[in-house]
Amino acid sequence: MSKKPSTENGPSQPSQAVATFIARAKSPTNLPGNLIESRIIFGLDATASREATWDQASQIQHEMFAAVQTDQRLAVQLCFYRGFRELKASGFCHSATELQGLMSQVRCAGGHTQIGRLLKHTLKVAQKDTLKAVLFVGDAIEESVDDLCGQAGLLGLKKIPLFIFHEGGDAAVERTFRVMAKLSGGAYAPFDLASPDQLKRLLAGVAAYATGGRAALGTLAHQQPGLKQLTAQLPKT
């Protein structure tokens, strides 16, 4: 979380339990040897309709950390929106245990989508931290499409690809998500909540890209063909 959360322009104040966890997650740790840290933002829609997806993502997010090579370190910031203008962001977590501990304390709540605020938060974080990618999981858009595409384009200018994983079959939402991913230099993929292995592969693919670039994702795609839909969309240079 930011040091002084704001309900107006940034993530809102968390509960004390979550605040305590995030304080631990933000504690500095020394990277052994030449270990390289790659930072990503894991953004999720936590409105009421997403509870099943949230629970599933919480259980399988360890796939991201498992996909990282031994000389690399993945750091994941959880960012989600729910309720009335409620956007929260954690410190950077360095293990699946840390991230799952945080996710287990969150409950979904009704509200409208706030993808734009999430992307603005990402751009703000990018001013002080080097981000390798943004991963977003959602199913709906209730905001200005033009504004969202503009923010995606700004991510593209900063070389921060947006990986959007779409649960649901809304064709209009799919079109917008695809355009946003392309403008950012990222990729779009649909997934079925009934097939958790599919989402596992997608999460692992983003981690591979974040820590090893397009080549690492390509190598993983040879082992897991379902990831070729991501590599086919990424710029070759």
Nearest to 200 by CA among 61, 42, 97, 51: 61
pLDDT confidence band for 7 (50 / 70 / 90): very low
Average pLDDT over residues 115-140: 96
- pTM for the whole thing? 0.85
CA–CA dist 16, 183 (Å, integer): 38
Judge whether 142 and 62 are in contact, CB under 8 Å.
no
Q: Is 70 exceeded by the pLDDT of residue 152? A: yes
Average pLDDT, the chain: 88
> Does residue 4 fall inside a structural domain?
no
Q: Is 50 exceeded by the pLDDT of residue 228? A: yes
Q: What is the CATH number of the domain that holds 79?
A: 3.40.50.410
Average pLDDT over residues 159-186: 96
Judge whether 206 and 135 are in contact, CB under 8 Å.
yes
Average pLDDT over residues 182-206: 93
> Does residue 9 fall inside a structural domain?
no
pLDDT confidence band for 32 (50 / 70 / 90): low
β 72-82/86-93 pair status:
antiparallel
Strand order in the sheet with 162-167: 86-93, 72-82, 36-45, 131-138, 162-167, 187-191
> Does residue 105 fall inside a structural domain?
yes
CA–CA dist 230, 220 (Å, integer): 11
- The reported pLDDT for the residue numbered 111 is 94
Average pLDDT over residues 131-138: 97
Average pLDDT over residues 168-195: 94
- The reported pLDDT for the residue numbered 144 is 97
- The reported pLDDT for the residue numbered 36 is 81
Judge whether 79 and 42 are in contact, CB under 8 Å.
yes
For residue 37, the SS3 value is strand
> Does residue 57 fall inside a structural domain?
yes
* Token output for 223: 């082992």
- The reported pLDDT for the residue numbered 19 is 56
> Does residue 28 fall inside a structural domain?
no
Q: Find the domain containing 155 and state its range.
A: 16-23+34-231
Q: Residue 138 — φ and ψ, nearest 5°?
A: -165, 180
Name the percent of the chain lying above pLDDT 90. 76
Number of domains forming the structure of the chain: 1
pLDDT confidence band for 78 (50 / 70 / 90): very high
Lowest mean pLDDT: which of 7-21, 42-56, 90-104, 113-127?
7-21
**Helix extents (H) in the chain:** 16-25, 51-60, 62-66, 96-103, 115-125, 145-157, 171-184, 196-223, 228-231
* Token output for 25: 């997650």
More confidently predicted of 229 and 14: 229
> Does residue 213 fall inside a structural domain?
yes
- The reported pLDDT for the residue numbered 70 is 76
Distance of CA 4 to the CA centre of its chain: 22
Distance of CA 229 to the CA centre of its chain: 18
Judge whether 136 and 118 are in contact, CB under 8 Å.
yes
> Does residue 64 fall inside a structural domain?
yes
> Does residue 187 fall inside a structural domain?
yes
